[in-house]
Amino acid sequence: MSDRSAFWAAVLVLPALSLPAQAQQDPIVVYNAQHETLAQEWATAFTEETGIPVIIRQGADVEVGNQIVQEGANSPADVFLTENSPAMVLVDTAGLFAPLPPDILDQVPAQFRPVDGNWIGIAARSTVFAYNTEQLAPAELPQSLAELAEPEWQGRWAASPSGADFQAIVAAYLALEGEDATLSWLQGMAQNALVVRGNRAAMAAANSGEVDGALIYHYYWFGDQAGTGESSANTALHYFGKQDPGAFISISGGGVLASSTHKDEAMAFLRFITGPAGQAVLREGTSFEYAVGSGEASNPALPPLLELDAPEIDPSRLDTARAAALLTQAGLF
C-alpha cells in the first residue's frame, strides 16, 4: 500500500515539478501587458518568420513594470510590452532598458517614442467619451474633460480609475494642467463619477442608461461593436479634440531589457512588431488599436489618428506613481 501510494504521489507531483523544463529551446520571454490576443498574434507571426519561439507572460501594465524593477538584473524577461507608456517610463527610469538601434527607432515617428530612444511606441489608443444616444444629444456633450468634474455632471458618467488605462489619462492631465488642477479634477470626479472596474463595465453602464456616458479608450467600443454589441449598442463615441486632456492619445510601448541574454532575438521581435508585418496585425486584426509605424494606416473603421487633435505630451513625462497617489488622495481607490 505504501509503495503504491508513494508511486501515485510521485506520478502526481513529479510532472508538475518538471513543467518548466518542457519549454522549447532558447525562446525569448515577453512580459506582456498588452492584450494577450494581440501579443499572441505578433508572436505567432514572428515565430513563423524567424523560427524563434516566444513565451508570453501575461500581466497588467504597472504591475509587470514593477515586477521587472523588482527583478532588476535577474529578470527572466527579454522584452516588455505595455498598453500604456507610464509603465515603460517606470522601467526606463530604473535604467533597465537597452538602448534601441536607429533602424528600429526609425520605423516609428518621433511623436510616438521617448526622446531617449530606450523604448518605442508599438500601438496607440485614444481617450473617448462613449455616450448613450437616447440620453444625450450631441449638443449636450461635454466640451472638455474638466467639464465632467462640474456639479451638473454629478452621477452622469462612469469610469474605471483602478485600471492602468485611466491612470495614464490622469498622468496626462497632470502633465498638461499641473498637480493642483489634477487633484481638484479628481475630487470632482469622486463626487460625480460612477466608479466601476474595467472599461467594459463603464461602457456597459452608459449602454444600459445607468449613466449618460463613460470615459474609456476607443477600442473597447469598436471591439464590442464588432462582437456581440451587448455593451455598446445604444452608444456612440465623442472625441474631445482641441488638444484637451480628454483627447489624450496613449502610446503602447515596447522595450528590450538590458539584462536580456537573447538581445539579438529580442531586438528582432521589436523590429518585427514595429515594422510593416507587425503593424499590419493592428490594421487587419480585431484589436482596433491604432498603428503607429511610419506610413502604416490603421484599421479603416477608425477615424485617422492624426485628425484627433490630441495634446502633445512627451511620453516620458507621464508620472503614473504621482497619478496613483493623487487618485488615492481623492479617495478613488
Partner 1 sequence: MSATTGPGTAGVRYGLAQWGTGKSVMLAAALVTGLLSLLPLGFVLYVAVSSGWDTIQALVLRPKVAELLGNTLVLLALVLPSSAVLAVAMAWLVERTDLPFARLWSWLAVAPLALPAFVHSYAWSAFAPRFHGLWAAVLISLLAYLPFIYLPVAAQMRRLDPALEDMARSMGKRPLAVFVLVVLPQLRLAILGGALLIGLHLLAEYGLFVLTRFDTFATAIVDQFQAVYNGPSANLLGGVLVLLCVALLGIEARLRGTERYARLGSGAARQSQRRALGRWRWPALAFLLIFALLSLAVPLGTLARWLGSGGLAIWKLEFILPALAQTALLALSGAALTTLAALPVAWLAVRAPGRLQKLLEAGHAYVGALPGVIIALALVSVTVRVALPLYQTMATLLLAYVLMFLPRALVGLRTSIAQAPLELERTAQSLGRTPLMAIWHTTVRLAAPGALASAAMAALGITTELTATLMLAPNGTRTLAMRFWSYTSELDLAAAAPYALLMIVLSIPLVVLLQMQADHFEQA
Residues of this chain, 192-211, that bind partner 1 according to CB under 8 A? 196-198, 200-201, 204, 207-208, 210
Please list the alpha-helical segments (H only) found in the chain: 2-17, 36-50, 61-71, 86-93, 102-105, 164-177, 179-192, 199-207, 218-226, 263-274, 276-284, 320-329
Contact letters (x/-) for partner 1, 245-284, by CB under 8 A?
----------------------------------------
Q: Which one of 163, 254, 278, 293 is in contact with partner 1 (CB under 8 A)?
A: 163
In terms of CB distance, is 117 or 198 closer to partner 1? 198
Contact letters (x/-) for partner 1, 219-238, by CB under 8 A?
-x--xx--xx-xx-------
Q: Are 215 and 157 in contact (CB under 8 A)?
A: yes
- Cα 75 from Cα 17, distance rounded (Å): 21
> Does position 25 bind partner 1 by CB under 8 A?
no
Q: Other C-beta atoms within 10 Å of 156: how many?
A: 20
Applying CB under 8 A, the span of 133-141, 162-170, 174-182, 266-274 interacting with partner 1 comes to 162-170
Cell of 17: 515539478
Tell me the closest approach of the beta carbon of residue 106 to partner 1, in angstroms.
31
- Cα 166 from Cα 152, distance rounded (Å): 22
Side chain identity, residue 148: L
In terms of CB distance, is 111 or 162 closer to partner 1? 162
Report the Cα 333 to chain-centroid distance in Å: 20
Q: Which one of 16, 137, 139, 301 is in contact with partner 1 (CB under 8 A)?
A: 16
Q: Which one of 45, 47, 71, 183 is in contact with partner 1 (CB under 8 A)?
A: 71
> Does position 73 bind partner 1 by CB under 8 A?
no
> Does position 98 bind partner 1 by CB under 8 A?
no
Tell me the closest approach of the beta carbon of residue 43 to partner 1, in angstroms.
12
- Cα 55 from Cα 258, distance rounded (Å): 18
Applying CB under 8 A, the span of 22-30, 249-257, 270-278, 289-297 interacting with partner 1 comes to 22-30
- Cα 20 from Cα 234, distance rounded (Å): 47
In terms of CB distance, is 66 or 294 closer to partner 1? 66
Phi-psi region of 223 (alpha: psi -120 to 50; beta: other; left: phi over 0): alpha
> Does position 164 bind partner 1 by CB under 8 A?
yes
> Does position 155 bind partner 1 by CB under 8 A?
no
- Candidates 179, 182, 249; CA nearest to 218 is 249
Within 13 A of 316's CA, how many CA atoms are on the CB side?
A: 14
Q: Which one of 50, 70, 133, 261 is in contact with partner 1 (CB under 8 A)?
A: 70
Q: Which one of 45, 47, 76, 234 is in contact with partner 1 (CB under 8 A)?
A: 76
- Candidates 193, 214, 190, 181; CA nearest to 329 is 190
Q: Which one of 7, 37, 103, 178 is in contact with partner 1 (CB under 8 A)?
A: 37
Q: Please state at what angle helix 320-329 crosses helix 164-177, rounded to 10 degrees.
A: 100
- Cα 86 from Cα 104, distance rounded (Å): 21
Distance of CA 193 to CAs 25, 196, 211, 313, Å?
50, 9, 9, 26
Tell me the closest approach of the beta carbon of residue 86 to partner 1, in angstroms.
10
Q: Which residues bind partner 1 (CB under 8 A)?
A: 1-2, 5, 9, 12-13, 15-20, 22-23, 27, 29, 35-37, 40, 55, 57-60, 62-63, 65-67, 70-71, 74, 76, 162-164, 167, 196-198, 200-201, 204, 207-208, 210, 220, 223-224, 227-228, 230-231, 320-321, 324, 327-328, 331, 333
